Structures are given as C-alpha cells and as structure tokens.
Amino acid sequence: MTSALLYAIAGLALFAIGFFGVVVASHVMRKILALNVMGVGIFMFLIACAKRNPLVVDPLPHAMVLTGIVIAVAGTALALNLMVRIHHIDQSSQEQSK
C-alpha cells in the first residue's frame, strides 16, 4: 500500500462524503461547501495518480488540478453571489412586509 494509493483512497472517500453532503444538506451554503469537498476529493485523487511511480512525477494531473481549482473558485463565487442576492431580496421583502 504505497502512499500514493493511500492518498487516492482518501481522495475517493472525500468525493463520496462530498456527494453525501450535497444530497443530504438542506441549507444552500452547506451544499456549496459539499460541492467544494467533492472537488477537493477529485484533486486529491489526481495528485495521487501523478505519483504512482516513486521515481517519476507526472506534471499533467498537476496542471489539471490547477485549472480545476480556478474553475471551482469561479463556480463557488457565482453560487455564493446568487445566494447572497436571494438573501437580500428575502430580507428587503420581509422589511416591506413588516
């Protein structure tokens, strides 16, 4: 059981937990966080794939991880922004209703 395999399994575990979180979480914030956890799981798995041979490090998964992170950031930012705007609308409508 080389360390790479261990990391790979950890990555997959994170993915599964993330998915469980997405399905079960009720609040939107939790769902977004769960999505990020899934992303991190996949990145962990990718990095584990890069180092299967002790002597050689495959840079391609690293590049994929880097791009993945940027995209994850973008997605999460958009999701959070939408959530905040919905929250503002709810608040302002509550103020009007009071």
Partner 1 sequence: MNELSSSLLLPAIVFLPLLAAIIAFLIGRNQLQGRINICFSLAQFLLVVLTTLLFLHEQTYQSERYVIGGWGAPLGIDLIVDGFSILMIALTGLLTLLITLYSASYFSDKYSASEKSLRFWPLWWLLISGLNALFMSADAFNIYVCLEIIGLSAAALVALQGSRAALEAALRYLLVGLLGSLFYLFAIAILYRSHGTLDLMQIAETANHSFPDKVAMILITIGLLLKIALFPLHFWLPPAHANAPTPVSAILSALVVKASLYILIKFWFDVLGATITLGASQMLGALGGAGIIYGSWCAFRATQLKVLIAYSTVAQLGYIFLLFPLSEYSMGVSSFTGSASQAAVYFIVAHACAKAAMFLAAGNLILAQGNGEIAQLKGIAVREPLNVLVFAVAGISLIGLPPSAGFIAKWLLLTTAIESGQWWWVIVVIIGGLLGAMYLFKVLSLAFSTDPAVVESPTSKSTPQVSNVMTTVALILALITLALGFNAEFILNISNTVSEVSGI
Partner 2 sequence: MNMSTLLPAFIVICPILVGLAVMATPEHKALQRRSLNIAGALITLGLIGMLLSGVVNGLDFETRLPLLPNIDFVLHGDALSLLFVSLSGLLWLFTTIYAIGYFKDSANRSRFFAFFSLCVGATIGLALAGNLVTFLIFYELLTLVTYPLIAHKGNAASIKAARTYLIYTMIGGALLLTGVVWLKVLAGPLDFTSAGLLAGLPGLNNTHLQIIFVLLIAGLGVKAALFPLHGWLPISMAAPAPVSALLHAVAVVKAGAFGIVRVVYDIYGVEFASDLGLTILLAVIAGFTIIYGSVKALSQDDLKRRLAYSTVSQVSYIALGTAIAGPIATIGGLVHLVHQGLMKITLFFCAGNLAETLGVHKISQMNGAGKRMPLTMAAFTIAAFGMIGVPPIAGFVSKWYLGVGALEAQAYWVLGVLAISSLLNASYFLPIIHAIWFKEQSQPWPKEVAKLRLETHWMLLLPPLVTAFFALAVGLFASSAFSPLTWSALIASREYQAIFPDISGIALKYSTGHLWVLILPTLLLLAMAFKTLRAKVIRLIPLAPLPTLLAALLVANEDKIGQSFLLLTSAIWFIAALYAQAYMANDNKRHRFYLFFILTMIGNLGVVLSQEISSFIAFFALMSFSAYPLILHSESDEAKSAATTYIRWVIFSEIVLFLGLVGKTYYAAFGTEQLPVVWVSALLIIGFGVKAGLATLHVWLPKAHPVAPIPASALLSAVMVKVGLLGWIRFLPLGDATINILAQPMMVLGFTATFLAAIYGALQDNAKTVLAYSTVSQLGIIAASIGFALATPDSWALLLPAIVLFAMHHGFAKASLFFCVGLSSALKPGHKLTPFLWLLVLVPALSLIGLPLSSGALAKAALKDATSSWPLFSTLLVMSAIGTALLMGRFIELMRKQAMLSASSAKLNWRLILPTALSALMCLSYFYTPPFEFKQFQTIVSTLSWSAVWPALTGLLIIFATTKLRAKLPVPPAGDLLIAYQTLAHLSDRTRQKIANLNTNIAQYINMMLSHLQRWSLIVSGHLSKLLTLDTPGTVMTVMLAALLYAFLT
Partner 3 sequence: MFNTLNIEYDSPAVDKSALSLIASVLVAGFLLAVTITIVLSDKGHNTGLAPLITQNIELSGVTNPVTAVLLNFRAYDTLLEIAVLLVVVLAILPTRDHHAPFFKRIVVSKKNLVLSALQRWIAPAVVVFAGYLLWAGAHQPGGAFQAGALLAGASVLMFQSDTYQVNYTSLMARVLLVLSLVVFITIGTALIYFEGSLLTYPLAFSGLLILLIETCATVSITLALASLYSSFIVSENTSVTDNKHRTIK
Residues that bind partner 3 (CB under 8 A): 5, 8-9, 12-13, 15-17, 19-20, 22-28, 30-31, 49-50, 52-53, 56-63, 66-67, 69-71, 74-75, 77-78, 80-81, 83-88, 90
What is the DSSP code (8-state) at residue 23?
H
Q: Which amino acid is at 24?
A: V
Of 29, 77, 82, 76, the residue nearest 90 (C-alpha): 82
User: Would you give the binding string for partner 2 spanning residues 7-36, x where CB under 8 A is met?
Assistant: ---------------xxx------------
Q: How far apart are CA 73 and CA 5, in angstroms?
A: 27
Nearest residue (CB) to partner 2, 64 versus 79: 79
